[in-house]
Structure 1
């Protein structure tokens, strides 16, 4: 048993993109920003561990589900053709078992929080399961991904401010309107970086009939990406100010905006390498915003 697990481990690590941490960092930074805001500063080691480990586990579980759902499409895309499930190195059933174990481990972490957070985790799981199939029916599936990648924000507020009551009223009490607005604003950041990602595969996606924001936006893709960045940063700046965040926070927003402008220079010619580089480095945008939030609250 242990020998087999040791032999399969490289495949499992490839399945969950272990060597490419940018994916889970894109989820982590807005979640931690929300957690710091909700807790009015450092949230404590317990919640920090729950949301950091939970983010890694759920993103990894999502990779398993996505690769199973997209295996017939991925074999026609150069960048994804060698994924373990796609090339047949890992059976579908085994990949789903790995995903289920990871999701279960994340749920065990959630169980150590409170009732509102546990209730929200079921909605988060449903959206995670739905996203891989949205590409068949939705012209901009990146919006569905945006909801999935942003759901850690209301969960962070629920964990920091929630109680023991199992009800929708308890969720409403723990998660203020600003949290949902932060989630909506973050969705536009996901639209920005995942459109950059989709621009890399546009030619292959057109051949196989996949729907993406890059295809939907057409020649307005670059303008669309920059507009998404602008909505994200402007909305977070406005909401942050309404929550009492000050100059250090706005400095973080400014650093993030400078990076977004740099990304424009990478994607404006729609070259594959430039678009992929912009996507891959996007986690630094989120890191700048989080740094602004954490520093601002620390200086109070």
Structure 2
């Protein structure tokens, strides 16, 4: 199976600003939170003033207040990725692409992840009450788990590795050949990450939304498929991620056709080596069978976490 034209591992040419803004404007303003200052657009997203002015002329959503211009974080993440700026977003994706090769061995890589949680809302009364997701403790990949502080845990993992495996996807293969070329990766606000109608209307999805589509369509086609969430394990920082699992050869195997296609489009992996139907073993640490679940909660709210990985 192929997913349209798959580029080699040569980073893609930046998109034209007008095209990026057109995609960004497909997300309604009601989902935006304008908190990022103009200064931070350069410091964290590497958008220089001259480029920012051009983007504003093209229609980049913005709010003007007493403290100057403010922008939506998701918009800036999408801009920095599409325009290929030297931002943390692009650097993180390069690390994820590099990690894929580590899972090709038969034994699988050993990694240590330090999960450090932060308060979900510093203004809440009383102390934080951090709770680690039960799936972290019960995961079969965990070799050792140490609690370093109430908000810090060190987890030693042996991830499953194996030689390259191609997945059949059964009766949904035709759907994938249609879905993958017409659907673009786009960082989405949480309230849109389960809205399949939004995806069908705009052609935009993140990993959470693509996962929902793949499970729903797979079930309709009679494919044994289920959601999975946890970490995409890469050094020096892992990333929270969602993917699917398909049942093949008497076992559940990770499948991530949407994200592999996105990495190939960005030129971060070779699409010939990593086609959409290849199982990405050795990088996915599953801690939940839901579409998404927080690794650490604080008073039952999602706690932000850093994921230092060695």
Shorter-normalised TM-score: what interval?
under 0.3
Q: Considering Cα pairs closer than 8 Å and 6+ residues apart, tell me whether 1 or 2 has the greater RCO.
A: 2
- Specify which structure has the higher proportion of strand: 2
- Specify which structure has the higher proportion of helix: 1
Q: TM-score, normalised by structure 1?
A: 0.23
Q: TM-score, normalised by structure 2?
A: 0.23
